[in-house]
Structure 1
């Protein structure tokens, strides 16, 4: 009987202990933080917690969302927060803090919860010049800057409708990372706001007046996307999210082992924002990496013509651009299934990148392969048929042309018109193995019908991908 009573007493004490812990620090994922009228979109893996009726936020939120400079010393369990020469010093488990080396007492000490350091939101915000309000009913923290930043010049209006108050936002359609370069496909040119932050070392890329397009609706709900950067030197994480909703703002965070090893530059090329993390050599001169440090191959697929340039005209008044884009997108979809390949498109919609822009994109990315897709036409000779493949001088381009051409002929069964040397700008001025594929003749009725069919396009796409992979395997 005494043993049973002891067990019951132990169980009761255990339940009370668990209850007290839950009361002391409870997660409040429903809490919203509004900064100067704009809701901060927090990643799903970030929890705002309530400790003894004090709203506590992870130091990651302080750094990335409020953009204060945060340093964390694991050994001393000390957090330093700095902004505009003002310094706050806090210690995990201690209510005593320092503001510009003056001692102050906190209502609640910083804590380490689930391996994440959380600090009092009100204390940090007010000391950094933000006024704080709390709506207990709706669980909303309001932060207001005492001095609002100057209004930025409005950016050019994008061409694709976005969201929020019937305003038109720019749209992000794809994000990739290879060769120490972040590549963001956007509808129109955008000027990024790039910030270097420490602890952890990272580069924050903000895209103003920008939301997500074809990347999926889930990212519009405050979720976070991540890229696979395993094996990439100096890069530990690349994540992206919709940071603000109105005005829309996309944020990309690149975490690094060592921020001092890189120099950051950005440029806009052919519908792509390219943020280059150029490695800095020991003598202090930026250098571009040789080859792909991640082990991934960068393949640029070029859908010929587009937009104002229809290309050649088929026997049924078919426009070449309406054949090249669907086929190029099928090639893209197949290449995306290979984890060892990073694919970049010169265009994914009916737009017209100039030939120099296509060349510049491939060269800037230091791509491993460039493949331009086209359709042929000789209206004066409607019986002319067949597949031909062009390259320019380089032996590596000739090797790529031979392999891809062989796969196309075997797969499609069109007449073999051979592999030819052609002085074409996208082949001549690119610096990597490059080919231009003339899949067939749109001026031939039977071949036109075949080329426009889903079945033949799928077959051609697979042949092109098989050829690219065989070439890359031989090039290792």
Structure 2
């Protein structure tokens, strides 16, 4: 899904800020462009549609100097500025930008006299930096050349500072996940780190001083006491991972790994991605990713926690399907000694898009596969699609799609170009799989069938093996 002005990862700041059980709260929000409030009249409102934040395209487009035209017969919106031309069709998730097809998380919606579009599309295609002031309920948009004093959007600096971060926080925790017996902590900014072991009971403690939780993290994953936890299943060394704002002066985030017995570990920092590696021998020497000579495969379960993705016709959530598939693919590949598998998330937690890409890039992974389920305005839409963004990923996309379609048995919707952050910002061959349509009752029933999931997981694993030449 995201240089800087195009970081669509910041979309999730919005998703966190709005309740997911209605549109009224989002509709009362203001939109501010370069510190100037935009006029919203009539049906021009910010809305939350199934966890996707939508904003009125004409209001934003015209204030950015774009010409916005509406063709009623074809239900097409055309926005143009200089040589840049974008065409969007109400009800269709595929848009055309400068002659190239690009996909949106949710299709544009017509609201009487205005069309609303996902904020992700605005941030990616119109070059805006976006963040949410949760105290004042304001959607802040900044153009790349806006000169500033507003701090780093999305990091909690400037006007959008998270009040729960604690005073003096120079760094922000953006995400915490546990996979492959490793705790991964994504941090923006410079933190002072102190790690140590404790007994009675056995645990590993990581303190990050001068650090708070980012808005995106804290809004979704902390309770009123500023504490949270991960349920860690399937790892004999660990019972739970806990985290909290341990101190407010200086602001300190504490993360605790509750162990089932005493265990050695190794803490490393790779450009802000802290890894507590429990894959150690008795001497404490870790099996660091990338040093074993094995192929590193990163499997990304799209969405998670407060971000459910799309919702099926019977209410099933995309995030649950994505996670179930990622766990199954990971389990299959882990049985092959040629692979080292890392999951961006192994439970119902949330990671920003930039952190998903960062995990893969920092590990220098050989391939990156993001798993999703699709949705459309029409319940008749069905089938499987595979997306790539960079030419270097096209061969992987073709191989993966062949196995995906064979495994699903659904309509072949082809290999497509998609400007998604996780397949654009990753440095290795990367694909995004749309396995089927939750908006289609038959697809939805299949996607949540255990036998279907196992068959498709095997197909995805087989595709990865074929591409990497490991049979």
TM range, smaller chain:
0.3 to 0.5
| Structure number with larger C-alpha Rg | 1
Q: TM-score, normalised by structure 1?
A: 0.45
Q: Which has the higher contact order (CA 8 A, sep 6+)?
A: 2
Q: TM-score, normalised by structure 2?
A: 0.45
